[in-house]
Amino acid sequence: MYDVWQNALAEIEQQISAANFSTWFQGTSLISSDHGDIRIGVKNTFYIKQLRNRYLDIIKTALQNNNIEVSTIDFLVQNTTKAKVRPREVTKNTLIADAKKRIEHVNKKLNTNINSFNNGLNQKYTLDNFVVGSNNDLAVSAAKNIIANPGTKYNPFFLYGGPGLGKTHLVQAIGNALVKQNPDFKVFYTPINHFYSDFVDAIKAGKGKEFYLRFQKLDCLIIDDFQLIVNKEKSQEEFFNIFNDLYQLNKQIIVTSDRLPSQIKTVDERLASRLTWAGAFDLQLPKFEDKCAILRAKAELDGVEIEPEAIEYIAENVNTNIRDLEGEFSTILLMSEVRGLTPLELIQNGAVSVNKTSKLHPTSPKQVVDKVAKYYQLSTKELRSKSRVSNIKTARQVAMYILSKDLKLSTNKIATEVGVKDHSTVIHGIRKIDQDLKLNFTLRDQIEEIKEKIYG
Ligand code: ADP
Ligand code: MG
């Protein structure tokens, strides 16, 4: 029975994303198969609905391919998750002892390399602990290509995305992997603002030349947070020279930024275009399954146990970025120790409430439409008109977007609120804003301001 299920799982794993597979299939078992009546064991009731709705066909085929007759499939809960963290008396000392244990655990996993302290790399960032999901798979496969063939196809490697989405982690992981596979490979990581201050210090000390030569010897230069580049001709020129030299020598250059170079006002146009010669890769917001997978990986790395329902709760309620996701996770674990309750018990008791989306105060659809219109200096009537004038259209689409994301109205209801005929216009409008938000920072700020006005 065990083997058959393992074979079926191996087949399922080929067909769905790694994140989905570990979210939904880890811990499942084949309990029995009796003349086509299949019973599959799952961890708790939450999984039943998901597996039934999303994966029934895949499971059926995988079993049939392993010569199991299938007519009905039932899911049964086996070993309901028990409270994992025992209630106990918590003192300052036990908290400190626990923290020490966790740090030891993490350190053991990190395999520290004391020779690399001055290359700017932090050993904690590796590809092994970077969870691959739909939000980052392209960037990760480029990263792997770079590790295998530095200075070739993806050179320069330009990685961009909003704060807290894993840029620093991924580029540091590349650096660490390069050093690990060849300790003589000279990697240097620096945020751009540190590059500047070092440059200024070097010039002041009359060591401009040494500064330049130090960079020229590198095999791989990693520049983080490029958007902080300042409009100082001399230092930008220095960076440009270093960049060109390394590039000519086929040395790997890696640059991260929260936006595309063309959207950074202070950057020289030639430099901007060169940075994306080999394309630009972005990191997106993680989807629900990606978030669950990240939290599970973190729990494992930290050596803590947390109920799957608690993980799902956090994943569902943090919609900003991965940094916030980790922050909420740590807060809940700490509170769980202090209160002597398991994370899930805490959540069920209402002792914690996570909401990292946007400030949601009750408001009516009409208020939203009014406030959006006002922001764009339009009357509500104008916003609800058929006009295709650009700013009226944008205002209408922004209203659709907020009504959908924050008030969770149906597209039909939104159509009525903003005065358009059919819901496909609404779907298009929301998609347009979603798309624009990725790169249009002005629009991002505008929507934030509008929300302040609506909810503030
Ligand atoms: P950025 O540089 O884009 O602002 P970071 O690289 O600092 O973001 O990531 C924020 C936090 O989220 C870090 O602790 C990082 O380890 C974690 N993180 C981001 N993406 C992932 C991922 N895919 N898997 C695991 N942890 C991640
Ligand atoms: Mg960063």
The CATH superfamily of 137-282 is: P-loop containing nucleotide triphosphate hydrolases (3.40.50.300)
Output the CA torsion sign for 345, 346, 347, 351: positive
If you measure from the C-alpha of residue 225 to the centroid of ligand 2, how many angstroms do you get, rounded to a whole number? 6
- Please report the DSSP string for 266-279 in residue order: TS-HHHHHHHTTT-
**Residue minimizing CA distance to atom 20 of ligand 1:** 166
Q: Do domains 2-79+91-115 and 137-282 have the same CATH topology?
A: no
For the record, the structure tokens of 7 come out as 């074979």
Listed in sequence order, the DSSP H helices in 249-321 are: 269-275, 288-302, 308-317
- Residue ranges per structural domain of the chain: 2-79+91-115, 137-282, 295-348, 365-455
- Please report the DSSP string for 350-415 in residue order: TS----BS-------HHHHHHHHHHHTT--HHHHTS----HHHHHHHHHHHHHHHHTT---HHHHH
Query: Which residues line the pocket of ligand 1, CB cutoff 6 A?
Result: 129-131, 136, 161, 163-169, 294, 322-323, 326
Q: Tokens 């990697």 — which residue?
A: 187
**Ligand 1 atom closest to residue 258's alpha carbon, by position in its atom list:** 3
If you measure from the C-alpha of residue 227 to the centroid of ligand 2, how many angstroms do you get, rounded to a whole number? 11
**Residue minimizing CA distance to atom 18 of ligand 1:** 166
- Please report the DSSP string for 48-97 in residue order: HHHHHHHHHHHHHHHHHHTT---SEEEEEE-SPPPP-S------HHHHHH
If you measure from the C-alpha of residue 292 to the centroid of ligand 1, how many angstroms do you get, rounded to a whole number? 14
Q: Residue 318 carries which DSSP code? A: B
| Ligand closest to the CA atom of residue 226 | 2
- Rounded to 5°, the CA angle 293-39-305 comes to 30
297 Cβ partners below 8 Å, 6+ apart?
Answer: 129, 131
**Ligand 1 atom closest to residue 172's alpha carbon, by position in its atom list:** 6
pLDDT at site 113: 41
If you measure from the C-alpha of residue 438 to the centroid of ligand 1, how many angstroms do you get, rounded to a whole number? 18
Residue 97 CA: distances (Å) to CA of 93, 102, 329, 333: 6, 9, 20, 15
If you measure from the C-alpha of residue 121 to the centroid of ligand 1, how many angstroms do you get, rounded to a whole number? 15
Relative to beta strand 37-42, strand 29-34 is antiparallel
Out of 2.60.120.10, 3.30.300.180, 3.40.50.1820, 3.90.79.10, which CATH number does the structure's domain 2-79+91-115 have? 3.30.300.180
Residue 443 CA: distances (Å) to CA of 150, 391, 438, 439, 454: 37, 12, 9, 9, 16
Please name the helix (run of DSSP H) or strand (run of DSSP E) that holds residue 224, with its range, or none. Answer: strand 220-224
**Ligand 1 atom closest to residue 165's alpha carbon, by position in its atom list:** 3
Q: SS3 helix, strand, coil % of the chain, rounded to 5?
A: 60, 10, 30
Output the CA torsion sign for 305, 310, 316, 321: negative
258, amino acid identity: D
Calculate Rg over the CA atoms of the chain.
26
Contact in structure between 161 and 284 (CB atoms under 8 Å):
yes
**Ligand 1 atom closest to residue 256's alpha carbon, by position in its atom list:** 2
pLDDT at site 45: 73
Residue 108 to residue 85: CA distance in whole angstroms? 23
pLDDT at site 173: 98
Contact in structure between 190 and 224 (CB atoms under 8 Å):
yes
* Fold of the CATH domain 365-455: Chromosomal Replication Initiator Protein Dnaa; Chain: A; (1.10.1750)
pLDDT in tens, the chain (456 residues): 667 898 899 888 888 877 778 778 888 988 888 888 899 998 777 778 778 888 899 999 999 888 888 999 998 887 644 434 444 455 556 556 665 565 555 555 444 443 334 799 999 899 999 999 999 999 999 999 999 999 999 999 999 998 999 999 999 999 999 999 999 999 999 999 899 888 889 999 999 999 999 999 999 999 999 998 877 778 888 899 999 999 999 999 999 999 989 888 888 888 999 999 999 999 999 999 999 999 999 999 888 889 999 999 999 888 889 999 999 999 899 888 888 899 999 888 877 777 665 444 457 889 899 999 999 999 999 999 999 999 999 999 999 999 998 877 889 889 999 999 889 999 999 999 988 887 788 898 899 889 888 877
What b/e string do you get for 167-187 counting C-beta neighbours within 10 Å, with b at 16 or more?
A: bbbbbbbbbbbbbeeeeebbb
pLDDT at site 95: 58
Q: 453 forms bridges with which residues in the sheet?
A: none
Q: Tokens 């393992």 — which residue?
A: 6
* pTM score, whole prediction: 0.62
